[in-house]
Amino acid sequence: MGSVYAGLFHESGHEVWGIDIWKEHVQAISQHGLKLEGASGNRVIHLKATTDPIEAGESDLVIIATKALHLVKAAEMSKSLIGPNTIILTIQNGIGNSEPITQKLGLNQLLLGVAGGFGASIKAAGHVHHNGMNTIQIGEIRGSITPRLEQVTKIWKEAGFNAKSCEDIQRMIWEKLICNVCYSGICTVTNLTIGQIMESSTLWPIAACCSIEAWKVAQKKLISLSFSDPIPHVETFGSKIPNARPSMLLDHLSGRASEIEAINGAIVREGKLVGVDTPHNMVITALVLHLEEMAGIREKGKVTD
């Protein structure tokens, strides 16, 4: 997703630096350009890329688009990019993603974002693809529509994104999370697509219960959702991308640790805090963690930051 953002922002006329610790990806972009394919068109985009944030210098807008488990390191690496007027926008799946950023960089300059319907994947170093371009929703942590929020949203729109300023970004985060907990973990455990889960008479009830548990937790936390029944919500979401494999499954197949602790695992943690039982999410979380331990992706018993 970070490469998709960088490519489209560069095309709209901004000075963009793509920063990544993956040396081969940075080298491929620097030498041959970023090969971007999918819903926004197929082309090669020549932008600046580095593994060293110091090269980029102080920036107007810093977009952190790493996986949730890499947020602490990303925040530390971003310090040289941050000036007194820099706006930081962090976009991840799951919940709890603002805490690592605020611990390292502070709260006042931070916005939260939710990306939906992109289906982005890395085909090879310097080569990314995305299936769609649905929405980018952006908001202040404390709510309200501010001038800086509107300014950032305008920049996204000018770059071709369907971007929206949200007065209640926590609602958007939880509405996406309820979909993610429904499909991400169980697809990873079974190696099935979203559509195959929906069609399964044995697996769909488990997936549905994961979303119901998340919805109950949201209710207890007084999150203002736009629906009163999570099942039609997740069914509508899934029916739009039946052939998709969630990023959690793609991570597992690629030998990378997943975001299970920020998605299904987060529902288990939040459920304990508010007194909601979450047995289905607990089992799915345990199974994914076990698969990662068996594959050598994650140390046994180790929980990521």
CATH code of the region 171-294: 1.10.1040.10
% the chain with pLDDT above 90: 76
Q: Give the pairing of strands 127-130 and 120-124.
A: antiparallel
- Four-way CATH pick for 2-167: 3.40.190.170, 1.10.3720.10, 3.90.1640.30, 3.40.50.720: 3.40.50.720
DSSP code of residue 15 = -
Under the banding of pLDDT at 50, 70 and 90, the label for residue 46 is: very high
A 10 A CB-CB count for 113 gives 25
> For 248-259, what is the mean pLDDT?
90
Under the banding of pLDDT at 50, 70 and 90, the label for residue 166 is: very high
- Cα separation, 123 vs 11, whole angstroms: 21
Better-predicted residue by pLDDT, 181 or 131: 181
DSSP code of residue 247 = H
Instruction: Quote the tokens at residue 124.
Output: 């090879």
- Residue 36 φ/ψ, nearest 5 degrees: -115, 125
| Cβ neighbours of residue 69 closer than 8 Å, sequence gap 6 or more | 257, 259, 261, 262, 304, 305
Under the banding of pLDDT at 50, 70 and 90, the label for residue 117 is: confident
- Cα separation, 144 vs 26, whole angstroms: 37
pLDDT exceeds 80 at position 299: no
Cite the residue boundaries of each domain of the chain with CATH code 1.10.1040.10.
Answer: 171-294
CB 289 within 8 A of CB 263: no
Q: What per-residue confidence (pLDDT) applies to 98?
A: 78
Q: What is the pLDDT of residues 203-240, one digit of tens each?
A: 999 999 999 999 999 999 999 999 999 999 999 999 98
pLDDT averaged over the chain?
A: 92
Q: What per-residue confidence (pLDDT) applies to 300?
A: 59
Question: In the block, which residue shows the tokens 């029944």?
Answer: 229
Q: What per-residue confidence (pLDDT) applies to 120?
A: 85
Cite the residue boundaries of each domain of the chain with CATH code 3.40.50.720.
Answer: 2-167
